[in-house]
Amino acid sequence: GAVVSQHPSWVICKSGTSVKIECRSLDFQATTMFWYRQFPKQSLMLMATSNEGSKATYEQGVEKDKFLINHASLTLSTLTVTSAHPEDSSFYICSASQVEVDRGRWGQPQHFGDGTRLSIL
Amino acid sequence: EDQVTQSPEALRLQEGESSSLNCSYTVSGLRGLFWYRQDPGKGPEFLFTLYSAGEEKEKERLKATLTKKESFLHITAPKPEDSATYLCAVQYTNAGKSTFGDGTTLTVKP
């Protein structure tokens, strides 16, 4: 159980184009999804927290207009990298938390997708 | 500022040589401490959740324990397939997000 699917797993595109990454929770409802960026041999850097039906909360230093996040349903969140440039090349990972009645929203682990390797030429 | 510190940064073991990874945290009002395993080029895989001091969780060769200030991930008689980066994360009280440590990269040689 608790499977998260992320698509695509790998994308190469030209500078200036926009890229959309999808994150789906396949067997549970996720009220909260998270988007991370990971540089080689470094830990996860949280970009934003996405709650179903509301605007995403971005971490300090993350450009809202560059990284558009939509969480339209309990099973789908998308990250769109707009007008991507070579410096946006990275490994992007999403995660989702499911809600349990006894603990509410908090105290739940995150379940991660397998990441998207984005390369901007 | 809330911090999560993992040590050592890297650990090399011979197959069968047991050891422990450490995760210390300075988060008040712990909601949950999580251990994950990450293989190269993949997203982290959830292993354990610990909620209160004294709690222990076990899965195959891995055992996670929790005190008021730190958690240990004990690896008993590791195998080469246990080689991975192990991440520790702590959840705040007032938000669903977690603070991640930098991870311990474990290499088990046959």
Whole-number Å distance between alpha carbons of A78 and B18: 42
Contact between chains at B96 and A108 (C-beta distance less than 8 A): yes
CB B68 within 8 A of CB B24: no
Nearest of A27, A3, A6 to residue A92 by alpha carbon: A6
Q: Kindly state the percentage of chain A with pLDDT values over 70.
A: 93
Which chain B residue's Cα is nearest to A91? Answer: B41
Asked if B20 has any chain A CB less than 8 Å from its own CB, the reply is no
Return the pLDDT at B101.
Answer: 94
Return the pLDDT at B48.
Answer: 95
Please write the tens of the pLDDT for every residue from A8-32: 999 999 999 999 999 999 988 888 8
Please write the tens of the pLDDT for every residue from A47-83: 999 888 788 999 999 999 999 999 888 899 999 999 9
Nearest of A22, A65, A31 to residue A49 by alpha carbon: A31
Chain A residues whose C-beta sits inside 8 Å of any chain B C-beta = 2, 4, 6, 32, 34, 42-44, 46, 49, 91, 93-95, 97, 105-115, 117
